[in-house]
Structure 1
């Protein structure tokens, strides 16, 4: 806001000089010098308030605060009036503490106004205490820490206020757009030069052209003959542990068939020891060859025996990618740029891109939601504040401008990001007030809501969580009628569901719960078709794979596991991840203070073809290649850029260049733009 005002003033000044309006220019400069709003510069306003305090100008301090109240604060909603009053009280206390020798003058002038206020009742004795800095009542106010905390609080309040005013927003957006386009042109020139150099080098040898499926194929059903062969081969080995084919046949496509060989299955002494190995990669990982090339090539990566160790972020190296350590020799992505969104002032809980890839919604632990765009420029579209704590968010599928917000008091709000208005607020359940997870069906006609009871401490959110999972419900709501359709049965007992995800057409729903169990629901019959204990501890994040033959999950035990949904409880791969990828996340502060945050948002996300997965780390996002052997993950690229642990990620592939979103505990969100290399 302040920079936009300064640029506008400069343009007006240049216009007046060009027109020869010298007298008008003088009046403009004089009024700018006496501008009480200081060009919407928060630091200048704070300096002015401190100037009045240091010069013992009580009258000037009162007049300036009254001006800010008439000009700015009175336009706020009534819910923010207590905050303004608290800041005003703290400002006067700050004046009293800094002018202790003139306290009698202060109370004489302010007695009529303050004597009826409860928060000032004890302060009238201050002038008569010999050493007030040693009195237990006033001791905290003489500390530097209290003064700094008050000034930072006032600074943050004014900053958020000015961000929501949208003054000169259009002009500022145009200036940012011009700057962004200039930087983008320079990046594209450098990228073009690099690609031309790479192209000349590749002409000297054989090369393979990556075959990207067209959009209309990607949007079709993803289960093909490969899945049918998998079910058939597993039936031949063990029919006792294989689910009925009739259930999955309702989700299979009829028009698309993809070539592929059935995997080889070896069985152990129990179903949990069954391992699935493929001699060829899945069909969606096959890479086409240029015209004229013959023969076959093994595209599967070597599987070193040692799992990757990614706990060290400074070395940017992970064992398991190449021999002798280091990242994978074949870089599947080029990081074109990395931008930062820094409008949050506390740790992020959720950060999600909408279906179109045009908007991002981010939620921090203070309950502030920011809706913003990053293409072509980074720009805040809306700021949502709530009286009650917010715990979850989800974009609606149709229309994609709607945002679902789950609170800690048993309500879900439907918010229109275009009109910046609440469309409806649904009362879910008073006995289970914590809305932990929201998932909107791809059809846009309904959404799933996970509601949980309060913890034993009675707080909305306790860290760390209790070892005994609290009670919960899984509900289905109709988005058109805004009514509850049904409540899912959770066996063996009602438990809090931490994470939910639909498959591509909304026929299947997978959930991860606080009891460590993954449940798979048939959304045509609205019942659970299978469930299995997946993790020792809570399930933090769960997603369908790209081909939807498997489910991948991250749990409290630090394991990243791939599950075969055609054989209940059978692992296809398992890998232990470092704590900075799975949580709980820890941010160390001054004097040994530690901030601990339990995972709430998505802990991993896939690229557009399901070959690579983005996870959290202590210094930024970390991209792995999914392999068909052991280890299951091969580290290929560390995005970096963060100074605090990353707590949630998302991968937007709706645009030509993929954009990775990584959000951290210091409130910073990084947007890393990647270009997939054709190998």
Structure 2
């Protein structure tokens, strides 16, 4: 109840700020400060009562209890009136006992003022002699009330009574609605996967294809976020929307990436000509031709339109509908050509004219100009037809005083947690304003962190002494501290399952170099464990088998429903675990050296990894160890990261945080660099290549970890560097 009220107050406050109702906001803040119900926070109500007792404020105590009685207790059924009376009697006795121990005059004052009210009550008959008893704490009639056990029992009983009362009031249904919606979404996801699996089985039986089975379970074959049937529907919808003339509304371009029609990430192929479709059941090979980009785009749109419409016409078997559809197809095709002609004329203008036309985009954009323009290349000196993002702004968070190790955004996109090498954690928000919410200091070194998924206010903190803490960022306190393993004290990686019921942690043996993480490790991998813990019972569920030998796991990642877990280890091996059977599905050697980062692709048919060898590789999880693409990244994107200073000062840091992050559609990837983040487009050309589309810049020291938040209206890229600075680059996604 308390958390729901706080969230509601925050939403109301943000609304008033947005509307500019500053006077109303001041009145709201004043009312919240003097709120006697304390936002339905039971702990604060108990603290208020104790404070009145400690200050011997009998009048204030009576008024506050009467307010609670009028506001809450009087609405209860008659059967609870006896319980309320007992709690009031115990509260008065708690006050009297405290007065006897601290101020005897207040004891006499209590009985004088309350005599008319209490003298007729049997439970107070023997208490009027209390001020005259020489040593009441030794008297058998009063000694139990002087014990600490009685006071604690009374406070706990009052706390529990108020908690149950608030839970039964049902003033706000936010938490219940969120849980209900989450369960419904999970059920829908399971039913959709079952439907796709049945459709695929029927299609395989009809075609009679011989599928070579591997160690992955059967349900992984159909674990795509979008099945083939749904993909065809989305494709036809995209054709119709693309054939419509571009909107002249400026605000339509601010739609979040997550709300746009999802699409599978383009499959990157190797130079040898191997197709990724060979490893996935029912996948279609993308068409290739030698036409120009714009001509190809128009031809594909028109062909897809004709194909989708002919399919509809065949199913309807009506000649009139067919002729009408062909006419509409011809008109839409003509509009596409007109639109492409406008684009050609715009892009053919000199760079100086294009810059003049693009300037209003960043200052005071006009709807007509903005809808025709594409993007302003960062420092490129003109318009670029391939530019997918515009950098609207870049802010800096500078509360850290040493190099950053981790920087992660929570699931809701409201909070950021950042950890530096000194073990200081900052929990902060950037929307609507940048503000530090909590600062966590630790006596033991901290090596990893991860946000819990449900509830998203909880933070998992892994230390260098074999413990994992569960920290509540709202209450600003530790909920639990779990002892993992004394022989493997370094918690290198944490990952919470999407359901929030469990998390995995990677524990490694002490570093042979003796330091925490300041210098590169020796080439011989150290021993490690991969453990699964239950977040509700706070107990270890199992220990995964790491073959061929126990090794330190550097990075972990779940897929969208938690059925699969991918890990990258210090021996260069990527391991894929089936989380329904809790065993290893497959493993393969991925890099020469350690694996620093692993992530699932958007369609979750592939895995991307970055290793110590400086390679960015895409792997097909349906064909063990088969590369779909391989790119060599600069050293400042993969580490070890080096920061040089005066007098030969040199700081070296091994990667610990995420080195890559994808946008909401999985078509662009953000990586580290020496002066800021770099955004690449995943292409499917021959030979395969990463196409650089935007440099975020802004840093004076090497960037060591990145994250990409698409939960807010505009996508936000976070880049953290070795000088303790974190840059927030707000991006506007261009329509394609």
TM-score bracket, normalised by the shorter chain, equals 0.5 to 0.7
Offset of residue 273 of structure 1 = 14
Distance apart, 1:678 and its partner CA? 1.2
Structure index of larger Rg: 2
Encode CA deviations 1:40-90: one digit per residue, 9 max, x unaligned: xxxxxxxxxxxxxxxxxxxxxxxxxxxxxxxxxxxxxxxxxxxxxxxxxxx
Q: CA deviation at 1:330?
A: 1.8
Look up the match of 2:630. 574
Give yes or no for contact 2:216–2:586 (8 Å, CA) kept in 1.
no
Verify: 1:656 aligned to 2:713, yes or no. yes
Please list every run of 5 or more consecutive structure 1 residues that lacks an aligned counterpart in the other structure.
Answer: 1-215, 300-320
Contiguous gaps of at least 5 residues in structure 2: 1-184, 236-265, 289-296, 306-327, 341-376
- Matches for 1:365-380 after TM superposition, within 5 Å: 365-380=421-436
Give the TM-score of the pair, scaled to structure 1. 0.58
Give the distance between the partners of 1:241 and 1:559, measured in 2 at CA.
Answer: 29
Per-residue deviation at 1:331?
Answer: 1.1
Q: 1:633 to 1:469 in 2, by over 3 A?
A: same
2:729 and 2:561 map into 1 onto residues whose CA distance is: 29
Q: In the TM superposition, what whole-angstrom CA distance separates every residue of 1:599-632 from its partner, at most 9, and x where no partner exists?
A: 0000010111111111101110100111123333
Deviations 1:396-415 (A, max 9, x none): 00000000000000000100
RMSD: 4.1
Deviation, structure 1 residue 220: 4.9
- Aligned-residue offset at 1:248: 1.9
Deviation at 1:456, TM superposition (A): 1.9
Structure 1 position 236, deviation (Å) = 10
Is the Cα–Cα contact under 8 Å of residues 241 and 568 in structure 1 kept in the other structure?
Answer: no
CA distance in 2, matches of 1:439, 1:250: 24
Confirm or deny: 8 A CA contact 1:405 1:412 kept in the other structure: yes
Offset at residue 473 of structure 1 (A): 0.2
Residue 333 of structure 2 aligns to a residue whose secondary structure is coil
- C-alpha distance in 2, partners of 1:253/1:383? 37
Query: Which of 371, 387, 395 is the equivalent residue of 2:451?
Result: 395
Q: 1:360 aligns with which of 408, 416, 436?
A: 416
TM superposition score normalised by structure 2: 0.54
Residue 476 of structure 1 deviates from its aligned partner by 0.2
**Equivalents in 1 of 2:403, 2:270: separation in Å?**
46
1:614 & 1:585 partners in 2: Cα distance?
17
Tell me how far apart the structure 1 counterparts of residues 645 and 208 of structure 2 sit (CA, whole Å): 58
Indicate the residue corresponding to 1:476 in structure 2: 532
Q: Do the aligned partners of 2:406 and 2:657 also contact (CA within 8 Å) in 1? A: yes
CA distance in 2, matches of 1:359, 1:591: 39
Aligned residues: 436
Cα displacement (A) at 1:279: 2.4
1:294 alignment counterpart:
333
- SS at structure 1 position matched to 2:717: strand
Q: CA deviation at 1:500?
A: 0.1
Find 2:697's aligned residue among 640, 656, 659: 640
3-state secondary structure, aligned to 1:637: strand
Whole-Å separation in 2 of the counterparts to 1:256 and 1:220: 15
Change (3 A) 1:275 1:568: closer
Question: CA 1:628–1:266 in 2, change beyond 3 Å: closer, same or farther?
Answer: closer
Measured against aligned partners, the alpha-carbon deviations of 1:525-547 in whole angstroms (never above 9, x if no partner) come to 00010000000000000000011
Report deviation, 1:651.
0.3
CA deviation digits over 1:179-214, x for unaligned, max 9?
A: xxxxxxxxxxxxxxxxxxxxxxxxxxxxxxxxxxxx
Check 1:237–1:580 CA distance in 2 against 1; reply closer, same or farther (3 A cut).
farther
Kindly indicate whether the alpha-carbon contact (under 8 Å) linking 1:328 and 1:636 is maintained by their aligned counterparts in 2: no
TM-aligned CA distance change 1:507 to 1:518, over 3 Å: same
Q: Does 1:603 align with 2:659?
A: yes
Bigger share in helix:
2
Contact 2:427 2:473 in 1 (8 A): yes
C-alpha contact 2:215 2:585 (8 A) present in aligned 1:
no
Alignment CA distance shift 1:388-1:568 (3 Å)? same
Query: Is the aligned partner of 1:542 residue 2:598?
Result: yes
Verify the 8 A CA contact 1:438 1:448 in the aligned structure 2.
yes
Cα pair distance change 1:373/1:266, threshold 3 Å: closer
Q: Residue 244 and residue 510 in structure 1: after superposition, are their counterparts in 2 closer, same or farther (change >3 A)? A: closer
Quote the residue 2:676 is aligned against.
620
Alpha-carbon separation, structure 1, partners of 2:597 and 2:690: 17
Q: CA deviation at 1:325?
A: 13
**Superposed CA offset, 1:276-295 (max 9, x none):** 994249xxx99999995339
Given that residues 412 and 426 in structure 1 are in contact (C-alpha distance below 8 angstroms), is that contact kept between their aligned partners in structure 2?
A: yes
Offset of 1:352 from its aligned partner? 0.1
Task: Mark the CA change 1:346 to 1:266 in structure 2 (over 3 Å): closer, same or farther.
Answer: closer
**Distance apart, 1:571 and its partner CA:** 0.7
Task: State the Cα distance separating 1:458 from its structure 2 match.
Answer: 3.5
> Offset of 1:244 from its aligned partner?
5.8
> Is the 8 Å Cα contact of residues 269 and 688 (structure 2) preserved in structure 1?
no
1:244-393 pair list within 5 angstroms: 246-249=218-221, 251=223, 257-259=229-231, 278-280=285-287, 292-294=331-333, 329-393=385-449
Counterpart residue number, 2:727: 670
Cα deviation for residue 326 of structure 1 reads: 11
Contact preservation (8 Å) 2:269, 2:684: no
User: Is the contact between residue 269 and residue 275 of structure 2 (CA under 8 Å) also seen in structure 1?
Assistant: no
Determine the structure 1 residue equivalent to 2:616.
Answer: 560
Question: Which residue is equivalent to 1:74?
Answer: none
Instruction: Give the alignment partner of residue 411 of structure 1, picking from 454, 462, 467.
Output: 467
Post-superposition shift, 1:594? 1.3
For residue 257 of structure 1, report the CA deviation from its aligned partner: 2.9
The Cα shift of 1:462 comes to 5.4
Tell me the SS of whatever aligns to 1:294. Answer: helix
2:122 corresponds in structure 1 to none
Given that 2:660 and 2:707 are in contact with CA atoms closer than 8 Å, whether structure 1 keeps it comes out as yes
**Once the 2 structures are TM-superposed, how far is the Cα of residue 461 of structure 1 from its aligned partner?**
3.1
Taking the TM superposition and a 5 Å limit, the aligned residue runs for 1:110-259 are: 220=189, 242-243=214-215, 246-249=218-221, 251=223, 257-259=229-231
Shift of 1:591: 1.8
Matched residue SS, 2:576: strand
Contact 1:275 1:572 in 2 (8 A): no
Distance 1:544 1:273, change over 3 A: closer
Q: Measure the CA separation in 1 of the matches of 2:630 and 2:555.
A: 20
1:258 partner SS: helix
